[in-house]
């Protein structure tokens, strides 16, 4: 299609198809928080090739309304969270969704994925820490295809450098569909039983260039490329099915022809579908502001801190979905400005201390809100926003817009500033 001038960009999932063996075992209310290489994973979850065709052509009737690049999956009906482009920035929202599930004591779980190169991102480590601290119902998959575009990663990823504890990570051969299936079944059973997160490091091969804008022949030898065929999960699975007489070679060939013809037809139909309208460019940037005529405090003189505390208390009383999270906000400290004093004592299931990790605070807020909670999260000083700025810009500020309103982020972030001293320089 690209050679024909039909479309401008594509991210291949060739070599990663065995992850469909993960998603076919998921329950209807489980979540996927993935990245752009996960075509097999989302197809196993229930997305169709027709939907992928609509996304490729950036058509209006997609999970993003035509606003996202190809392979940036989003399907709220199937609980497939909207893929952000900066790699690794999906991991903390995945933790937020998983925390919401745990707070509600539901038997569901979250599968989140990341490529090997993005394991050098700070959010990767923050997500691991938060998942282990809260014992979240989360399956964490690192898809190690040995390259970050052109850069080899097998010697400098955190597992190879002994930054990660090897015993925490189950090593899996990603071209072996049965191995992926069996390991997932075991992990899912333990996660649903309340045993906390599981971590898979999956070795696989990227059978194509990084994207349609890349040419891996520039940096991979001809010998290396010739050897890739034996790591093709589809070929390996086909050979196994034929060897075990579950299907004949002729039956497989017919099935292969039928699937290819169906995909050609569906992509041809998708090309003719409705395009986004320029008139909708600013639709779903934000929700309409809420209206409230309720009097929280009668007229009088109040200290700002007392006003904030009473407002937070009323919010917690009125809506059990409201969650407060921030550094030092639990009693006895009750916040460095005492804004949350006595709240954790009165609402122990809604008020929690956070780690000193601003990206965690903002990323978890986004995921928790997308799940359906109403997070009200504190940054101790506005000066400290910058370690979490990626989550603010990449997810909180545009999740609603980039998903055409299919995913929402009703979060409140507050941070003191000014007063009698700065929090930083």
In tens digits, the chain (425 residues) has pLDDT values of 988 999 889 999 999 999 999 999 999 999 999 999 999 999 999 999 999 999 999 999 999 999 999 999 999 999 999 999 999 999 999 999 999 999 999 999 999 999 999 999 999 999 999 999 999 999 999 999 999 999 999 999 999 999 999 999 999 999 999 999 999 999 999 999 999 999 999 999 999 999 999 999 999 999 999 999 999 999 999 999 999 999 999 999 999 999 999 999 999 999 999 999 999 999 999 988 888 888 878 889 999 999 999 999 999 999 999 999 999 999 999 999 999 999 999 999 999 999 999 999 999 999 999 999 999 999 999 999 999 999 999 999 999 999 999 999 999 999 998 866 665 65
Question: What residues make up the domain containing 397?
Answer: 304-414
Q: What is the pLDDT of residue 259?
A: 96
pLDDT at 118: 98
User: Residue 56: which of 281, 270, 212 has the closest Cα?
Assistant: 270
The answer to the question of residue 10 being in a domain is no
Does the N-terminal peptide bond of residue 145 adopt cis geometry, omega within 30 degrees of 0?
A: no
What is the C-alpha separation between 138 and 108, in angstroms, rounded?
9
Query: Are 99 and 232 in the same domain?
Result: yes
pLDDT at 425: 59
Domain C-terminal end among 253, 271, 289: 271
Q: Is residue 285 part of a domain?
A: no
Identify whether residues 154 and 263 lie together within a single domain.
Answer: yes
Based on the fold, state whether residues 140 and 61 are members of the same structural domain.
yes
* Judgement on whether residues 254 and 164 belong to the same structural domain of the protein: yes
Instruction: List all residues 6 or more positions away from 410 whose beta carbon is below 8 Å from its beta carbon.
Output: 287, 369, 374
Total domains in the fold of the chain: 2
CATH, residue 87: 3.40.50.970
Q: What would the 3-class secondary structure string for 75-119 be?
A: EHHHCECCCCCCCCCCHHHHHHHHHHHHHCCCCCCEEEEEECHHH
| 190 and 94 within one domain | yes
| E strand segments, 133-219 | 138-144, 147-148, 151-152, 169-173, 198-203
The answer to whether position 5 is within a domain reads no
Strands 169-173 and 374-378, by their bridges, are unpaired
Same domain, 98 and 208: yes
Residue 2 covered by a domain? no
pLDDT at 292: 80
> What's the CA gap between 136 and 278, in Å, rounded?
41
Q: Is residue 176 part of a domain?
A: yes
């Amino acid at each position: 299609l690209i050679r024909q001038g039909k479309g401008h960009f594509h991210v291949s999932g060739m070599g990663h198809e065995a992850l469909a063996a993960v998603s076919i075992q998921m329950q209807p209310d489980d979540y996927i928080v993935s990245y752009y290489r996960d075509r097999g994973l989302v197809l196993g979850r229930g997305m169709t090739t027709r939907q992928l065709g609509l996304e490729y052509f950036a058509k209006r009737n997609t999970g993003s309304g035509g606003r996202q690049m190809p392979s940036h999956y989003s399907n709220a009906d199937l609980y497939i969270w909207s893929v952000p482009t900066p790699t690794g920035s999906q991991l903390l929202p995945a933790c937020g969704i998983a925390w919401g599930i745990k707070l509600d004591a539901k038997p569901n779980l979250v599968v989140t994925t990341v490529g090997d190169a993005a394991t050098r991102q700070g959010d990767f480590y923050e997500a691991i820490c938060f998942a282990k601290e809260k014992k979240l119902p989360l399956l964490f998959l690192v898809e190690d295809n040995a390259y970050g575009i052109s850069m080899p990663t097998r010697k400098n990823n955190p597992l190879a450098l002994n930054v990660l504890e090897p015993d925490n990570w189950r090593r899996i051969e990603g071209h072996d569909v049965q191995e992926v299936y069996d390991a997932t079944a075991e992990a899912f059973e333990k996660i649903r039983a309340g045993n906390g997160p599981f971590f898979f490091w999956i070795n696989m091969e990227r059978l194509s260039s990084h994207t349609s804008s890349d040419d891996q022949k520039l940096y991979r030898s001809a010998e290396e490329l010739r050897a890739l065929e034996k790591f093709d999960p589809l070929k390996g699975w086909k050979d196994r099915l034929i060897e075990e007489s579950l299907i004949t070679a002729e039956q497989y060939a017919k099935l292969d022809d039928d699937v290819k013809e169906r995909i050609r037809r569906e992509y041809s139909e998708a090309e003719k579908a409705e395009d986004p309208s320029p008139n909708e460019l600013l639709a779903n940037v934000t929700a309409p502001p809420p209206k409230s005529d309720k009097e929280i405090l009668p007229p009088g003189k109040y200290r700002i801190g007392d006003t904030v505390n009473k407002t937070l208390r009323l919010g917690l009383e009125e809506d059990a979905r409201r969650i407060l999270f921030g550094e030092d906000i639990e009693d006895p400290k009750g916040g460095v400005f005492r804004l949350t004093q006595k709240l954790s004592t009165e609402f122990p299931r809604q008020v929690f201390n956070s780690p000193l990790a601003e990206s965690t605070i903002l990323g978890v807020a986004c995921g928790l809100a997308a799940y359906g909670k109403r997070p009200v999260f504190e940054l101790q000083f506005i000066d400290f926003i910058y370690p979490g700025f990626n989550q603010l810009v990449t997810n909180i500020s545009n999740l609603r817009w980039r998903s055409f309103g299919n995913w929402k982020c009703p979060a409140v972030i507050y941070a003191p500033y000014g007063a009698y001293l700065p929090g930083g320089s």
